[in-house]
C-alpha cells in the first residue's frame, strides 16, 4: 500500500471499535496522526487505543446524542490541540425487513445513528475547523445511498440523507477551508456483512465472503481522501469500486 503523511494531524473516528473504524484508527496512526477513537464499546476502543500507544485517545460516545459528540470533539482538541479530520463511520444495518413489518422505533434508531450521528459529527467539528481555516469531514457512505434495496429502507434512507448532508455541507464550507466528502467502499468484510448474510434479505446477503474487500482497503482510502489528490471528489462520494480510485489509493 502507498504511504501517506498525516504527521501532526488529529483524526476523530466514530464507530472505531471494529470493522472500518478500527482499521481506520490503525491506518491513520501508521500515517503519523493522533487518533481519537469514538464508540459506545468503551472496553474495545480502550484496548485499540492501548495498542496504538500515546498518540491515541479513547472516548466512549453515543453518536445519536449531540452533546456526547461535542464533548468528544472537545476532548480531541484538549488532548491534541486541534481536530483536523473527522470520519463519520458509526452505522447500523438493522432493522432489515419489509417496511410493513419492521418496528418503527428500531427504524428511527437507525436514522438516529446513521443520519443524525453523521450530522452531529459534522456540526461539532465544523466550528473548530472553520476557526483554524482547515479540516476534512468524511462520512462513510454506501451504494445504498444511491440505489434502493428491498428490505433495507432504514439503511437506504439514512445513507441517502447522509449523502445529501455531505453535498450541502460542502457547499456551505468549501470556501472556508473545509473539505467534505463521502466514501462508498462497496461491500466490506466486517461484522455487518455477517449480519446481512444471516438475515438472508436482499442480494448482498447472497454474496460469498470472498466477494468483500478487507476493511484495511477502506481505511487506506480514508487516509488518501485527506490528501490533495482527492480534491476533485469534494462534495461527492468516492467509490472504492472504481478501479481508478483503487489505483490512486494503492489497493488495486
Say which of 28, 152, 155, 217 is annotated catalytic: 155
117, burial (CB in 10 Å: exposed 0-12, middle 13-18, buried 19+): buried
C-alpha torsion 79→81→85→86, nearest 10:
40
Predicted pLDDT at 1: 59
Predicted pLDDT at 196: 82
Task: Judge whether 148 and 202 are in contact, CB under 8 Å.
Answer: no
For the stretch 92-110, pLDDT in tens is: 999 999 999 999 999 999 9
Q: What's the predicted TM-score (pTM) here? A: 0.94
Residue-level pLDDT, tens digit, the chain, 252 residues = 578 899 999 999 999 999 999 999 999 999 999 999 999 999 999 999 999 999 999 999 999 999 999 999 999 999 999 999 999 999 999 999 999 999 999 999 999 999 999 999 999 999 999 999 999 999 999 988 999 989 999 999 999 999 999 999 999 999 999 999 999 998 776 777 777 878 877 777 776 766 677 889 999 999 999 999 999 999 999 999 999 999 999 997
- Write out the three cell numbers for 106: 428500531
Domain architecture of the chain: domains with CATH: 10-186+215-242 (3.40.50.720)
155 is annotated as an active-site residue = yes
Predicted pLDDT at 209: 62
Amino acid at each position: 500500500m502507498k504511504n501517506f503523511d498525516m504527521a501532526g494531524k488529529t483524526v476523530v473516528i466514530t464507530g472505531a471499535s471494529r470493522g472500518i473504524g478500527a482499521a481506520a484508527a490503525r491506518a491513520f496512526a501508521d500515517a503519523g496522526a493522533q487518533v481519537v477513537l469514538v464508540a459506545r464499546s468503551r472496553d474495545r476502543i480502550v484496548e485499540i487505543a492501548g495498542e496504538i500507544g500515546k498518540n491515541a485517545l479513547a472516548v466512549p460516545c453515543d453518536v445519536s446524542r449531540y452533546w456526547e459528540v461535542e464533548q468528544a470533539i472537545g476532548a480531541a482538541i484538549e488532548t491534541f490541540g486541534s481536530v483536523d479530520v473527522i470520519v463519520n463511520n458509526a452505522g447500523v444495518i438493522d432493522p432489515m425487513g419489509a417496511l410493513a413489518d419492521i418496528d418503527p422505533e428500531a427504524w428511527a434508531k437507525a436514522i438516529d445513528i446513521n443520519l443524525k450521528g453523521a450530522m452531529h459529527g459534522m456540526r461539532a467539528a465544523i466550528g473548530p475547523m472553520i476557526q483554524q481555516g482547515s479540516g476534512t469531514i468524511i462520512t462513510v457512505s454506501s451504494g445504498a445511498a444511491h440505489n434502493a434495496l428491498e428490505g433495507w429502507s432504514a439503511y437506504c434512507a439514512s445513507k441517502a440523507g447522509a449523502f445529501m448532508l455531505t453535498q450541502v455541507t460542502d457547499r456551505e464550507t468549501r470556501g472556508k477551508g473545509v473539505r467534505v466528502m463521502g466514501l462508498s467502499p462497496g461491500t466490506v468484510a466486517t461484522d455487518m456483512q455477517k449480519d446481512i448474510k444471516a438475515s438472508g434479505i436482499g442480494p448482498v446477503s447472497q454474496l460469498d465472503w470472498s466477494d468483500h474487500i478487507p476493511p484495511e482497503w477502506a481505511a487506506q482510502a480514508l487516509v488518501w481522501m485527506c490528501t490533495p489528490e482527492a480534491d476533485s471528489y469534494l462534495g461527492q462520494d468516492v467509490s472504492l469500486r472504481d478501479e481508478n480510485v483503487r489505483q490512486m489509493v494503492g489497493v488495486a
